[in-house]
Structure 1
Amino acid sequence: MPVRTKHSNDSSLYYITFTCFSWLPLFQLTNTYDMVYKWFNYLNEKKSIKTTAYVIMPNHLHCILFLRTADFSLDKIISNAKRFIAYEIIKRLQHSNQTDILQQLQDAVTAKEKAKGQLHTVFEESFDAKGIDNRKFFLQKLNYIHLNPIRGNYKLVNDWREY
């Protein structure tokens, strides 16, 4: 059962994180960074949701979204994004014949999900969303996004401005 993140319509800025299944580096393996950009463009053009900041890591994504209106469902926005990106990840894994990873993603599907027609588990079920209601919290999350590529296991660059 998915863990739903509680949110209110009081905030118009949200810090959001979602993660690939078992922290697998699926964005990197399939080079699906372009699909995240397509999602951001879709949000902007069709939903009037602006991406204020983001970082796409090999196995997870952080972003700050600005929602102009109060009539939204973060659960729906994020679940649609994950579904949209997941289809392309699977397609690219199949195209590159990455059978071991595809099998791992198939094995992760529960009986209940299989009954609904799900074939692969590409992302962790839940996501994190925190309303941003003050400058201090906004700057904290913005700095975290900027510094994410130079910290942790990946250390993708030496200087955050390079990423």
Structure 2
Amino acid sequence: MSSKYKIRDQSRLHFISFAVVEWVDVFTRNLYKDLLIESLIYCQKKKGLKLYGWCIMTNHVHLIISSEEGYKQEDILRDFKKFTSKRIIEAIISNERESRKNWMIWLFKAAGEKNNNNKNYQFWQQDNHPIELSTNHLMQQKLDYIHDNPVESGVVSEPEHYIYSSATDYAGGKGLIDIEFIQ
């Protein structure tokens, strides 16, 4: 994560987006989305992540987060991105049914060679640009944006029909990840 984008107030909610290098559509496969889900749940249980909204699209992720006292949001995100990049690349390599394997691994390796922070591969784009959600209006705007993303992309007709987001929770159902509700 770039040091120019610091989270100054850890107690505030932040809207975070990050994408796969070259906007590769990795998350068309549930296997890879499920790895992200597992990692978000782990970060909630072990790393102090408080999750208020989320959505996994084909090549990027949106989150609304804060952190428990004693934890830094940028540390949680750094660890999450580092861990998931390794796990997803391993899953791609070992997936015998992955028809795009050689192409994706070639791209991730080429991106990794351009970045001194990596040993072999780069999966996520380097920067995050956290937006502090300082007003209720801004919180609702970003939450609506996250939940409408699959609708705007033509994946579903109603936000709550997309299971890889928190829209189901906000519609009164039970989603894949426990969340804190924005009041």
Q: Does the aligned pair in 2 maintain the 1:27–1:89 contact within 8 Å?
A: no
Structure number with greater CO (CA < 8 Å, separation at least 6) is: 1
Q: Which of residues 96, 100, 104 is equivalent to 2:103? A: 100
1:7 match = 7
Specify which structure has the higher proportion of strand. Answer: 1
Q: Contact conserved, 2:21 with 2:124, CA < 8 A, in 1?
A: yes
Cα distance in 1, alignment partners of residues 143 and 21 from structure 2: 25
Quote the Cα distance in structure 2 between the aligned partners of 1:145 and 1:56: 9
Indicate yes or no: 2:52 matched with 1:52: yes
Work out the CA distance in 2 between the residues paired with 1:61 and 1:35. Answer: 13
Q: Which runs of 5 or more structure 1 residues have no equivalent in the other structure?
A: none
After superposition, the Cα gap between the structure-2 partners of 1:49 and 1:11, relative to the gap in structure 1 and judged at 3 Å, is same
Could you tell me the TM-score, scaled by structure 2's length? 0.77
- Code of the residue aligned with 2:6 in structure 1: it is K
Aligned-partner Cα distance in 2 for 1:10–1:82 = 19
Write the distance in 2 (CA, Å) between the matches of 1:104 and 1:7: 30
Native 8 Å contact 2:19 2:125 kept in 1: yes
Supply the distance in 1 between the matched residues of 2:123 and 2:115 (Cα, whole angstroms): 16
SS at match of 2:119: coil
CA contact (8 A) 2:43 2:80 kept: no
Query: What CA distance in whole angstroms lies between the structure 2 residues aligned with 1:30 and 1:120?
Result: 22
Instruction: Name the stretch that deviates more: 128-137 or 34-43.
Output: 34-43
Amino acid of the residue matched to residue 19 of structure 1? A
Two-structure CA RMSD over aligned residues (Å):
2.1
The CA deviation at 1:117 is: 5.7
Q: Which residue in 2 is equivalent to 1:78?
A: 77
Unaligned 5+ segments in structure 2 are 163-183
Q: Does 1:25 align with 2:28?
A: no
| Cα deviation code 1:43-95 (max 9, x no counterpart) | 221133221110000100001113232x4333322121111111121112212
Q: Could you say which residue in structure 1 is the equivalent of 2:129? A: 128
Closer, same or farther in 2 for the Cα pair 1:90/1:79, shift >3 Å? same
State the identity %.
22
Structure 1 stretches of 4+ moved >6 Å: none
Question: 2: CA distance between counterparts of 1:126 and 1:73?
Answer: 17
Query: CA 1:92–1:134 in 2, change beyond 3 Å: closer, same or farther?
Result: same
Using a 3 Å threshold, how does the CA distance of structure 1 residues 111 and 138 change in structure 2: closer, same or farther?
closer
Moved more, 36-45 or 79-88: 36-45
TM-score (norm 1): 0.85
- Structure 1 residue 39: deviation in Å? 2.1
Q: Distance in 2 between matches of 1:50 and 1:110?
A: 34
Does 36-45 or 124-133 show the bigger shift?
Answer: 36-45
SS of 1:119's partner is: coil
Contact 2:50–2:66 (CA under 8 A) maintained in structure 1 = yes
8 Å CA contact 1:150, 1:160 repeated in 2 = yes
Give the SS at the match of 1:128.
coil
